Amino acid sequence: MARGNTRQRIQDVALELFAEQGYEKTSLREIAERLDVTKAALYYHFKTKEDILVGIFEDLTRPMDELIAWAGEQPRTVETKREVVRRYQVALRAAAPLYRFMQENQATVRELSVGLTFKERMVTLTGLLYDDDFPVKEKVRCISAVFTLHAGTFFMQNVEGDPEDKHEAVLEVALDLIDEAHRAS
Amino acid sequence: MARGNTRQRIQDVALELFAEQGYEKTSLREIAERLDVTKAALYYHFKTKEDILVGIFEDLTRPMDELIAWAGEQPRTVETKREVVRRYQVALRAAAPLYRFMQENQATVRELSVGLTFKERMVTLTGLLYDDDFPVKEKVRCISAVFTLHAGTFFMQNVEGDPEDKHEAVLEVALDLIDEAHRAS
Amino acid sequence: MARGNTRQRIQDVALELFAEQGYEKTSLREIAERLDVTKAALYYHFKTKEDILVGIFEDLTRPMDELIAWAGEQPRTVETKREVVRRYQVALRAAAPLYRFMQENQATVRELSVGLTFKERMVTLTGLLYDDDFPVKEKVRCISAVFTLHAGTFFMQNVEGDPEDKHEAVLEVALDLIDEAHRAS
Amino acid sequence: MARGNTRQRIQDVALELFAEQGYEKTSLREIAERLDVTKAALYYHFKTKEDILVGIFEDLTRPMDELIAWAGEQPRTVETKREVVRRYQVALRAAAPLYRFMQENQATVRELSVGLTFKERMVTLTGLLYDDDFPVKEKVRCISAVFTLHAGTFFMQNVEGDPEDKHEAVLEVALDLIDEAHRAS
DNA sequence: AATGAATGAGACTTCATTCAT
DNA sequence: AATGAATGAAGTCTCATTCAT
């Protein structure tokens, strides 16, 4: 019935379940049942369970890696950093389920040899936002900017208001933190 | 030889392993071996694996619950909120392994009926920092303050500097965010 | 090598062991070893241990349920009742191991939601043999007829004599009891 | 509080639970909890779990063993046999829970070295009711008499009527079977 | 491209039992 | 007369994985 898209469908369902219940608690049986295929079919498309996750990562973290690569090539100006923040928010929204999964399953992700881990990626990213000679407090502000963006994706559901307005507000706070950090340095 | 402290020792070892590897990946066999007792001994002290975790939670989340209760009784002034932030940082440092565990195993924690969950607790706490009539942007700043404190506990290892200095800087940034939010409201 | 009959083989071996040692005392390890498969193989064919038993019940109690259904549609004459007794003896002989199991493991069976329980089935059956307006004593005779048939299956091994002769004798006694009950009513 | 009657209380509670749930399904923890003592306390009074059951048997099967012994010394007349039937019904009523347990847990009892087993006892008893030279059919009638008495204890709850009347009716049917067997021999 | 059948490892859990106190 | 703490064996069950078809 469905054609060559089974591989994709597996990844979609898997990510959904991984994000909802965690990686360890999600069994291949569950994924297979949801897709109405047998477990063995999953093994036609992926070598192992971990492989399914790795595949998802490879597809979904590319934007963030590209962002990091792009930032590395730009002049280290405030404006660059503001742009990094803007683009990071976009990347975050695009891959929200994956980031939710990454954040909530760090113990699992840590053991996966899946390129850079969540934390490593964040270390690199935050490193792009401040300079080595910043005072500690201003480094903290830059880190805070990134965490604010994360909070915006995972936590702001609990605040009432129009989603677009909230995203706008989150972005402004993050940019303010970057600005303030540079003003004080 | 084994005195009346076995129950406590189980909780200590369990939290250590849960935080390191995640709850699902940590087996009772592992905990028992580390303590040099049999698995059955664990069941003398706790009814289920989940029960071990619940016990840890009950013991370690008390300070945070007390903080929330205390804050609820104070006048809603800026100074109260600054004090909440200060105390929250202390609570966070005292129960660092548990908070690390909670943050990294949210999928697991979510299914535990363990009083307020991590997210619920944070919703309550952030709610104490801003007032309903704040503009969205200022609400975001208050949320950002809490996330900054978290970042301080889990993420700042990656920034070089004296630990006390770093904590001081984190606290200052968080307090600045609170102040700014109130100035703008 | 193993063909499509594994499911049936599991049921056969399981019933044999359940009847011999009781349900609780029979472990899945034992069943698996007897079949020279792993325990996990059992779980491919049945969802739980209880499910194995339920499967056996469903297959083997059908004749008795059919008998009860058939009897319900016949005119309530003595001859019908005599025929019920005759057919019941046949059903009993065909499913002897199951009936032995049911009789000797009532405590277990009681907790199984396996259609009518042993006792309920017998209540229904005996109810088909006497009419509501029978004197108590004659009702007892009809119940006695059924118990006689059971004794014939499970107890008569201890009496010497040709098996066919014994079955014949058992049937005659049961039929005499039915006749006597009707003569006296 | 309770004095030296703990041993008896253990047996009472144990029999109740054994009869209700079966021997294997009843754990010592359950018995201990019901008595509000620890499992270890049970071991002060009984060497093993089996020992508890054996103790119950020894206390409660004595009347039946005495009945068998008594019968062995009487002349083998019809009147003796009628008296055996009468006394057996009394014994059965006195130890109803135990008999219920024995009947419903034959698989377990079979493996217990608890004097004569249920079946053996019944073989001996029925042997006292017929003579070796009886035709098979008349032997069956005598066996049927015993099963009728059993039915009276375990099955007659399902027939409406005054309990005493029902017992009377059961006894009459059993005696009729004995009489008929002797008349025909 | 996918299934049916099975495996080996290991998970959580319960049980009867022991023994120092 | 009884408890607190613990053990060793075993149980049911689930999982990721394999392979012939």
**Residue B108 pLDDT:** 84
- What is the DSSP code string of B118-131? HHHHHHHHHHHHS-
**Residue C115 pLDDT:** 57
At C47-62, the pLDDT tens digits run 999 999 999 988 888 8
Q: Nucleotides on strand F with an atom closer than 7 A to protein CB?
A: 1-20
What is the rounded distance in angstroms from the CA atom of residue B160 to the CA atom of residue B166?
9
What is the rounded distance in angstroms from the CA atom of residue A150 to the CA atom of residue A156?
9
Distance in angstroms: CA A2, C1' F14: 30
Which nucleotide is nearest, taking the CA of residue C49 and each C1'? F12
Distance in angstroms: CA A97, C1' F20: 38
Across the interface, whether the CB atoms of B107 and A21 are under 8 A apart is answered yes
What is the rounded distance in angstroms from the CA atom of residue A157 to the CA atom of residue A179?
26
**Residue D95 pLDDT:** 86
Q: Which residue has the higher pLDDT, A135 or B102?
A: A135
Q: Is the CB of D75 under 7 A from strand F?
A: no
Percent of chain A topping pLDDT 70: 96
The answer for residues whose C-beta is within 8 angstroms of residue C132's C-beta and 6 or more apart is none
What is the rounded distance in angstroms from the CA atom of residue B56 to the CA atom of residue B53?
5
Q: Is the CB of B48 under 7 A from strand F?
A: no
Q: Is the CB of A43 under 7 A from strand F?
A: yes
Across the interface, whether the CB atoms of C107 and D22 are under 8 A apart is answered yes
**Residue B115 pLDDT:** 58
Question: What residues of A are in contact with residue B107 (Cβ under 8 Å)?
Answer: 19-22, 25, 104-105
- What is the DSSP code string of C53-79? HHHHHHHHSHHHHHHHHHHHHS---HH
Question: Quick one: residue B146, left, alpha or beta (phi over 0 = left, psi -120 to 50 = alpha)?
Answer: alpha
**Residue C62 pLDDT:** 87
Contacts A–B by Cβ distance under 8 A: 119
The distance of B62 to chain A (nearest Cα, Å) reads 23
**Residue B120 forms contact with A (CB below 8 Å):** no
**Residue C75 forms contact with D (CB below 8 Å):** no
**Residue C178 pLDDT:** 97
**Residue B44 pLDDT:** 97
Residues of chain D with pLDDT under 50: 1-2
**Residue B104 forms contact with A (CB below 8 Å):** yes
Q: How far is CA D92 from CA B174, C141, D20, D84, D89, in A?
A: 81, 19, 18, 12, 5
Question: What residues of B are in contact with residue A22 (Cβ under 8 Å)?
Answer: 24, 105, 107-108
**Residue B67 pLDDT:** 94
Among D22, D25, D148, beta carbon nearest to C140: D148
- What is the DSSP code string of B39-80? HHHHHHH-SSHHHHHHHHHHHHSHHHHHHHHHHHHS---HHH
* Angle ∠(B48,B54,B58) on CA atoms, nearest 5: 145
Burial C62-91 (b: 16+ CB within 10 A, else e): ebbeebbeebeeeeeeeebbbebbebbbeb
Question: What residues of D are in contact with residue C143 (Cβ under 8 Å)?
Answer: 148, 151, 155-156, 159
Most A CBs within 10 Å, among B170, B173, B176, to test the A interface: B173
What is the rounded distance in angstroms from the CA atom of residue B142 to the CA atom of residue C26?
62
Residues of chain B with pLDDT under 70: 1-3, 114-116
Question: What residues of A are in contact with residue B137 (Cβ under 8 Å)?
Answer: 169, 172-173
The distance of C148 to chain D (nearest Cα, Å) reads 5
Q: Nucleotides on strand E with an atom closer than 7 A to protein CB?
A: 1-20
Residue B93's closest CA among B143, B24, B38, B168? B168
Q: Is the CB of A111 under 7 A from strand F?
A: no
**Residue C153 forms contact with D (CB below 8 Å):** no
Longest dimension (CA), chain B: 62
**Residue C2 pLDDT:** 44
At C101-116, the pLDDT tens digits run 888 888 888 887 665 6
The distance of C48 to chain D (nearest Cα, Å) reads 17
Among D19, D106, D147, beta carbon nearest to C151: D147
Give, rounded to a whole angstrom, the gap between the first and last alpha carbons of chain D.
61
Across the interface, whether the CB atoms of B25 and A24 are under 8 A apart is answered yes
**Residue D167 forms contact with C (CB below 8 Å):** no
Among D106, D159, D173, beta carbon nearest to C104: D106
Residue C85: pLDDT over 80: yes
**Residue D106 forms contact with C (CB below 8 Å):** yes
Question: Quick one: residue C22, left, alpha or beta (phi over 0 = left, psi -120 to 50 = alpha)?
Answer: left
Work out the pLDDT band at C3, boundaries 50, 70, 90.
low
Q: Is the CB of C27 under 7 A from strand F?
A: yes
Residue A146: pLDDT over 50: yes
Q: Which residue has the higher pLDDT, C165 or B106?
A: C165
**Residue B24 forms contact with A (CB below 8 Å):** yes
The distance of B4 to chain A (nearest Cα, Å) reads 32
Kindly tell me the burial class for residue A164, based on how many C-beta atoms sit within 10 Å of its own C-beta (0-12, 13-18, 19 or more): exposed
What is the rounded distance in angstroms from the CA atom of residue A97 to the CA atom of residue A23?
13
Residue A52: pLDDT over 90: yes
Distance in angstroms: CA C40, C1' F14: 9
The distance of B42 to chain A (nearest Cα, Å) reads 22
At C144-161, the pLDDT tens digits run 999 999 999 888 888 889
Residues 83-112 of B with CB under 7 A from strand E: none
**Residue C127 pLDDT:** 94
Among chain B residues, the shortest Cα distance to A120 is held by B158
* Angle ∠(D99,D104,D106) on CA atoms, nearest 5: 90
Amino acid, res. D56: I
Residue D112: what are its φ and ψ, rounded to 5°? -85, 135
**Residue D136 forms contact with C (CB below 8 Å):** yes
Task: With both helix axes pointing from N to C terminus, report the angle between A163-183 and A136-154 in degrees, rounded to the nearest 10.
Answer: 170
